[in-house]
A and B are shown apart, each in its own frame.
Chain A
Amino acid sequence: MKRSFIPGKLCAAVLLLLPAVSVAISTARAADANNPVDLFAGDTRLAANGYFDRPLEELLQLETQTKAFVGSRAGPHNAFDAAVPVDVITAEQLQSVGQVDLPRALSVLLPGFNMPRPSITDATDHAPPFTLRGLSPDQVLVLINGKRLHQGSLLHNNGTVGRGSSSVDLAMIPLAAVERVEVLRDGAAAQYGSDAIAGIINVVLKGYGQANQAYAHYGHTRVGDGLTRQAGVLGALSLPNDGYFNLLAEVRAREATNRAGDAVNQFGDAKAQNQSLMLNAELPQADQSLYLRSLYNRRHGEAAAFFRPPGDARNVPAIYPQGFLPKLAPHINDLFVTAGGRGLLANGVRWDVSYTRGQNRFHYLVRDTLNASLGAVSPTRFDSGTTRYIEDVFNASFGQSWNDMLITLGYEWRQERYQIEAGEPAAYLLAPGSDKAYGAQGFPGFTPENAVSARRRSESLFVDMKHELSPRFGYDLAARLEDSSDFSAKLNGKLAVRYRPAESWLLRTSLSSGFRAPSLSQANFSYTGSYRNTTDATTSFWGNYAVDHPLAQALGASALQPETSLHYTLGTVWQPVAHLDASVDGFMTEIRNRILTTGFISADSLTALSPQAIAILADNNVEGATYFTNGINTRTLGLDLRLNYRHEFANGGQLKLTGSYQRRRTRISGVNAAPGVLGVSMVDLLLDANTRHVITEGQPRDDFGLWSRYSKGRHALVANLRRYGPYASTNNLQQRVSFAAQWTLDAEWAYAVNPSLTLAIGASNLTSSKPASWGLTTDSVFGQGKTIPYSQYAPLGYNGAYYYLRANLHF
């Protein structure tokens, strides 16, 4: 049955936002009853007049609207000047919702930002991916103060959102290091290069004007697990000429949670211990300045695989007479450094030259396990190997203004490296003559055949133009030519137009093209296992093969090509009174050649598999194989609503309110041809029911959020209402199961003991909302009372309520 794209939920969101708008306008009018506000003429002078008679102390406490740098090279711009939609999440918001890491804070504050909490999904438990606009995790570009942040080396290859992708690990960024997060809700590859398809997240680190700070957080879930402790200190040193040197150190430890329906497994958040450092320094000298920004994070995690019962063939009873629960306990290291200079030359040219290095190391360590094929002499701890991703970027840009036009020219050189290092032999071996399970149970190691060291270099030339033709009308033009060692040059462009029919009303639209280069992990990842039946004379293999592996090539794999995209947005911003802006933006994103991993290519899985392919598998002693391929085209349509409002009451109280709603729908609009050698269609090869549902329905259909903060004197109350829309998943029988929308409420009360010390008590998910369970099933793993009672795609996690205390000290 055809669904309307503007259903009841959207109407409900509008109805929820309308009263807020109404109250905002009414209170603004009441505040200045003698000067009625023309809703379209604006009230700039009235607002300024209102400020003029206030005491200086009050003026210094006034907060202006947030501004963003991302999306334009012409400096900061507010919502009303933005040609493309941008959200700005402030440090105050990030710290008010009871989360201790950045991605979780964004997931409860920003509709359209989706980060489920997968469990028992191997390494993905330790660095869960996130998405924007219901697309893929690798279709989001993340920047730190405008410079590209590296992706992780982990390739998510289990049944989670973002299967087959590598994502940025936002949890490497200490939340307390963040001044604001800017989220550009539009494609911007023509400005920033590969990956900026679903949008851009620009994390701005705390910079100029900070005070020394110390902070601590303590909390646990309603059932008592998930104990979280966090402490950190930010030292802020002023340098000459208003330069700064900020250094932050933080430790945060989170114990695991467990919501498994049985007594022997663990299903919940992974245990994680993080140590983080942030350095942000800038030294101005006349019109030039040098800057250095760095992030370092070391994480030790631990999460369980499935329990192996005593009699399981994968167990050695002599080692674990009661069975065992293997644990993957990786060590994850991330380093980001960017150093550069910027300034203004005597001829008016603005320049910025920088070098950035980002690297991720994911060391797979497995404990409380064994290699069954080694028998009773098996070790119980293994080194299963390491993956690395290293990115070097040199960027130079030069901008010049002529009257109302700014033109920026730039060049970027980028090198990526991806490595897989084999684990210790015991971690992947199948002992000679053994028909037991091979390798380290829980996470068998990478083999020497899987080891790889790959590199890609790319160069880009870009031009960016912003032109204000009149006070009412302006446009941005951008073009970027990117050439890579792996694929032919790509030229992308963008046109964004803004028009102001009235002083308080803005219309905007943009049209752009974009692309995403295949990640090196997708092009080079291989992870294979082995087995031997009692009757077999030789060892058989199975697994994921890199696209250049002879077996993959024989099965039709070819070099991966970039995903290409087309974006269109059309929206309007309305700012009828000071402190209030509302926006509506529709968007469409078409992506061609999306990269997916194939289904399991084997005679058992694909009944129509050609005899030729079956023979290729048999000749290589391979039971089945998968590889990455450019498979499908998709089209995403969506709508964003935003409302930002601030009001100061006569009694000194201040109210801030941010309402947001996003609705989107992704459909598969085309499927590429499958390799002829396989004899099956691409639909059969790629789009089993689960994959199809993950792409089209695996993420919430819509999201609604309403964050509010009321403060007066020493007290501040925060309430964050959130609705995660319905989504669907498939069970082990490939049957579609739909999950209803869920509401959550976060609440916090903060008390300023004195101007330096603030204490807060709060609850995240106060009502202890949980996603709907799989229900009663006959499956052994998925279902109510089973190991996995909830869907891995649940956007709000499954911990229930979380209570916490936090303290902030400025000194």
Chain B
Amino acid sequence: MYTASAVVADHAARRGPGPVLRRYLSALPALIAATVLGIISAPAAAQVHDEELMLQAVFIGRLASYVEGSNWPVSTHENFVITVLRPDPFGELLDTLYRDKRIHGKPVEIRHAASLERLGSTDVLVVGAGTYRARHEAITYAQQNGILTIGLVPGFAAQGGIMQLNFVEQKARITINHEIALRNGLKIGAPLLSIAKVLRKEGP
């Protein structure tokens, strides 16, 4: 129950609560219509405007280019194969970016794998978020098969992954588990080692 007053009457006379709310809400139908239209016309996937993701995508290939090994990249591959294990944050970004790129002199092929069982032969395995166990299994598989692993979450290198890429205050940080790399027969280029945090302690 509200009592009218001189002050209120003055403002209410100028602009009552109903009309104002209605004015704002009047924009809703247009927005809803546009929304429905958008859902209907939405393409299968839209690019994201995420610079962090863009940089991650770039780093994957750039980091791989500083790695060498007697059996790496796999010589029987016609292409340089980068496989992203689900959950895959990149969508079509990697495919788009590496369409015209070459790593170690080979065209780049991007694969997306739902599980290790569907991984197949690859040169690089990109591991995003997911459970510790899933990462552990991926790292173990990669170590057994001489695959370069690149993880996108903190703790990945300490867990036994070879390269870790994450962001601190909007800047990329690279961590390299050099011991694991050497054990896998992978040699990391000095320029990369000089700018990365290098772990000397072995993982699992």
A residues at B contact (CB < 8 Å): 2, 42, 44-45, 47-49, 51-52, 56-57, 59-67, 78, 80-81, 90-91, 179-180, 208-210, 240-242, 284, 286-287, 344, 346, 348, 469-473, 497, 499-501, 503-504, 507, 509, 568, 570, 575, 578-579, 581, 586, 588, 590, 633, 635, 637, 667-674, 681-683, 687, 692
Please tell me which one of the listed residues A59, A240, A501, A570 contacts residue B58 in the complex, with CB atoms under 8 A apart: A59
Please tell me which one of the listed residues B8, B42, B93 contacts residue A472 in the complex, with CB atoms under 8 A apart: B42
Given A507-B34, A681-B5, A682-B5, are A60 and B12 also a contact pair (CB < 8 Å)?
Answer: no
Do B3 and A671 touch across chains, with their CB atoms under 8 A apart? Answer: yes
**Cβ contacts A to B, 16 pairs, < 8 Å:** A44-B47, A48-B96, A51-B58, A56-B191, A59-B172, A65-B51, A80-B49, A208-B154, A284-B154, A470-B38, A471-B42, A568-B21, A578-B51, A590-B17, A635-B20, A672-B2
Which residues from chain B contact A504 at a C-beta distance below 8 Å?
Answer: 49
Please tell me which one of the listed residues A179, A469, A568, A672 contacts residue B3 in the complex, with CB atoms under 8 A apart: A672
> Is B57 positioned at the interface, with any CB of A under 8 Å from its CB?
yes
A570–B131 CA distance with the chains assembled, in angstroms: 38
Do A472 and B20 touch across chains, with their CB atoms under 8 A apart? Answer: no
Q: Which of B73-81, B113-121, B162-170 contacts A (4 or more CB under 8 A)?
A: B162-170
8 closest residue pairs by CB, A with B: A209-B168, A242-B154, A471-B46, A64-B51, A286-B132, A470-B42, A683-B5, A44-B47
Do B171 and A61 touch across chains, with their CB atoms under 8 A apart? Answer: yes
Which residues from chain B contact A62 at a C-beta distance below 8 Å?
Answer: 51, 55, 171-172
Within the complex, what minimum Cβ distance (angstroms) separates A579 from chain B?
8
> Is B200 positioned at the interface, with any CB of A under 8 Å from its CB?
no
In the complex, which residue of chain B has the Cβ closest to the Cβ of A61?
B171
A91–B170 CA distance with the chains assembled, in angstroms: 11
Within the complex, what minimum Cβ distance (angstroms) separates B89 from chain A?
11
A608–B52 CA distance with the chains assembled, in angstroms: 66
Within the complex, what minimum Cβ distance (angstroms) separates B152 from chain A?
13
Do A671 and B2 touch across chains, with their CB atoms under 8 A apart? Answer: yes
Do A64 and B43 touch across chains, with their CB atoms under 8 A apart? Answer: no
Given A62-B172, A287-B131, are A501 and B38 also a contact pair (CB < 8 Å)?
Answer: yes
Which residues from chain B contact A568 at a C-beta distance below 8 Å?
Answer: 21, 24-25
A83–B192 CA distance with the chains assembled, in angstroms: 39
> Which of the listed residues A2, A52, A568, A579 has the most CB atoms from chain B within 10 Å of its own CB?
A52
A568–B55 CA distance with the chains assembled, in angstroms: 36
A507–B31 CA distance with the chains assembled, in angstroms: 8
Within the complex, what minimum Cβ distance (angstroms) separates A758 from chain B?
15
Do A78 and B39 touch across chains, with their CB atoms under 8 A apart? Answer: no
> Which of the listed residues B3, B131, B168, B169 has the most CB atoms from chain A within 10 Å of its own CB?
B169
Which residues from chain B contact A44 at a C-beta distance below 8 Å?
Answer: 47-49, 54, 93, 96
In addition to A67-B52, A472-B46, 5 A-B residue pairs with Cβ atoms within 8 Å of each other are A66-B170, A286-B133, A472-B39, A499-B31, A501-B38
Do B171 and A667 touch across chains, with their CB atoms under 8 A apart? Answer: no
Do B57 and A56 touch across chains, with their CB atoms under 8 A apart? Answer: no
* CB proximity to A under 8 Å, residues B23-55: 24-25, 27-28, 31, 34-35, 38-39, 42-52, 54-55
Which residues from chain A contact B191 at a C-beta distance below 8 Å?
Answer: 56
Which residues from chain A contact B24 at a C-beta distance below 8 Å?
Answer: 568, 570, 586, 588
Q: What is the size category of the interface that chain B forms with chain A? A: 35 or more
Do A47 and B51 touch across chains, with their CB atoms under 8 A apart? Answer: yes
Do A346 and B14 touch across chains, with their CB atoms under 8 A apart? Answer: no
Given A52-B101, A497-B35, are A683 and B174 also a contact pair (CB < 8 Å)?
Answer: no
Within the complex, what minimum Cβ distance (angstroms) separates B24 from chain A?
5
Within the complex, what minimum Cβ distance (angstroms) separates B16 from chain A?
8
A90–B171 CA distance with the chains assembled, in angstroms: 12
Contact code string B164-204 (vs A, CB < 8 Å = 1, else 0): 00111111111000000000000000011001000000000
Do A470 and B39 touch across chains, with their CB atoms under 8 A apart? Answer: yes
Within the complex, what minimum Cβ distance (angstroms) separates A170 from chain B?
21
In the complex, which residue of chain A has the Cβ closest to the Cβ of B47?
A44
Which residues from chain B contact A61 at a C-beta distance below 8 Å?
Answer: 171
Please tell me which one of the listed residues A49, A284, A287, A687 contacts residue B97 in the complex, with CB atoms under 8 A apart: A49
Do A509 and B28 touch across chains, with their CB atoms under 8 A apart? Answer: yes
A586–B28 CA distance with the chains assembled, in angstroms: 13
Do B168 and A670 touch across chains, with their CB atoms under 8 A apart? Answer: no
Do A78 and B50 touch across chains, with their CB atoms under 8 A apart? Answer: yes
Given A59-B59, A287-B132, A501-B38, are A64 and B170 also a contact pair (CB < 8 Å)?
Answer: yes
Please tell me which one of the listed residues A65, A473, A669 contacts residue B39 in the complex, with CB atoms under 8 A apart: A473
Given A42-B47, A47-B54, A504-B49, are A56 and B62 also a contact pair (CB < 8 Å)?
Answer: yes
Do B173 and A209 touch across chains, with their CB atoms under 8 A apart? Answer: yes
Which residues from chain A contact B43 at a C-beta distance below 8 Å?
Answer: 471-472
Which residues from chain A contact B101 at a C-beta distance below 8 Å?
Answer: 52
> Is B11 positioned at the interface, with any CB of A under 8 Å from its CB?
yes
Within the complex, what minimum Cβ distance (angstroms) separates B79 from chain A?
17
Do B131 and A208 touch across chains, with their CB atoms under 8 A apart? Answer: no
> Is B146 positioned at the interface, with any CB of A under 8 Å from its CB?
no
Do B174 and A60 touch across chains, with their CB atoms under 8 A apart? Answer: yes
In the complex, which residue of chain B has the Cβ closest to the Cβ of A683?
B5
A210–B24 CA distance with the chains assembled, in angstroms: 45
Do A52 and B39 touch across chains, with their CB atoms under 8 A apart? Answer: no
Within the complex, what minimum Cβ distance (angstroms) separates A402 from chain B?
13
Please tell me which one of the listed residues A67, A284, A637, A670 contacts residue B20 in the complex, with CB atoms under 8 A apart: A637
Do A633 and B46 touch across chains, with their CB atoms under 8 A apart? Answer: no
A449–B174 CA distance with the chains assembled, in angstroms: 63
> Is B128 positioned at the interface, with any CB of A under 8 Å from its CB?
no
A59–B168 CA distance with the chains assembled, in angstroms: 14
Do B38 and A668 touch across chains, with their CB atoms under 8 A apart? Answer: no
Do B45 and A471 touch across chains, with their CB atoms under 8 A apart? Answer: yes
Which residues from chain A contact B97 at a C-beta distance below 8 Å?
Answer: 45, 48-49, 52
Do A499 and B38 touch across chains, with their CB atoms under 8 A apart? Answer: yes
A507–B38 CA distance with the chains assembled, in angstroms: 11
Do A78 and B34 touch across chains, with their CB atoms under 8 A apart? Answer: no
Within the complex, what minimum Cβ distance (angstroms) separates B168 from chain A?
3
A60–B168 CA distance with the chains assembled, in angstroms: 11
In the complex, which residue of chain A has the Cβ closest to the Cβ of B65?
A56
In the complex, which residue of chain B has the Cβ closest to the Cβ of A211?
B168
Which residues from chain A contact B2 at a C-beta distance below 8 Å?
Answer: 633, 670-673
Do B8 and A668 touch across chains, with their CB atoms under 8 A apart? Answer: yes
Within the complex, what minimum Cβ distance (angstroms) separates A389 from chain B?
32
Do B17 and A635 touch across chains, with their CB atoms under 8 A apart? Answer: yes
Do B38 and A500 touch across chains, with their CB atoms under 8 A apart? Answer: yes
A240–B158 CA distance with the chains assembled, in angstroms: 8
Please tell me which one of the listed residues B39, B155, B166, B173 contacts residue A469 in the complex, with CB atoms under 8 A apart: B39
> Which of the listed residues B2, B7, B21, B168 has the most CB atoms from chain A within 10 Å of its own CB?
B7
Contact code string B132-144 (vs A, CB < 8 Å = 1, else 0): 1100000000000
Which residues from chain B contact A284 at a C-beta distance below 8 Å?
Answer: 154-155
Do A60 and B42 touch across chains, with their CB atoms under 8 A apart? Answer: no
Given A51-B54, A179-B169, are A2 and B5 also a contact pair (CB < 8 Å)?
Answer: no
Within the complex, what minimum Cβ distance (angstroms) separates A162 from chain B?
21
Do A91 and B169 touch across chains, with their CB atoms under 8 A apart? Answer: yes
Which residues from chain B contact A57 at a C-beta distance below 8 Å?
Answer: 195
Do A674 and B3 touch across chains, with their CB atoms under 8 A apart? Answer: yes
In the complex, which residue of chain B has the Cβ closest to the Cβ of A75?
B129
Which residues from chain A contact B38 at a C-beta distance below 8 Å?
Answer: 470, 472-473, 499-501
In the complex, which residue of chain B has the Cβ closest to the Cβ of A682?
B3
Which residues from chain B contact A210 at a C-beta distance below 8 Å?
Answer: 168
Contact code string B74-107 (vs A, CB < 8 Å = 1, else 0): 0000000000000000000100110001000000
> Which of the listed residues A48, A67, A578, A692 has the most CB atoms from chain B within 10 Å of its own CB?
A48
In the complex, which residue of chain A has the Cβ closest to the Cβ of B173?
A209
Which residues from chain B contact A60 at a C-beta distance below 8 Å?
Answer: 171-174, 195
A346–B154 CA distance with the chains assembled, in angstroms: 19
A87–B133 CA distance with the chains assembled, in angstroms: 36
A570–B21 CA distance with the chains assembled, in angstroms: 12
Do B7 and A687 touch across chains, with their CB atoms under 8 A apart? Answer: yes
Which residues from chain A contact B34 at a C-beta distance below 8 Å?
Answer: 499, 501, 507
Do A51 and B42 touch across chains, with their CB atoms under 8 A apart? Answer: no
Which residues from chain B contact A65 at a C-beta distance below 8 Å?
Answer: 50-52, 170
A179–B170 CA distance with the chains assembled, in angstroms: 11
Do B49 and A78 touch across chains, with their CB atoms under 8 A apart? Answer: yes
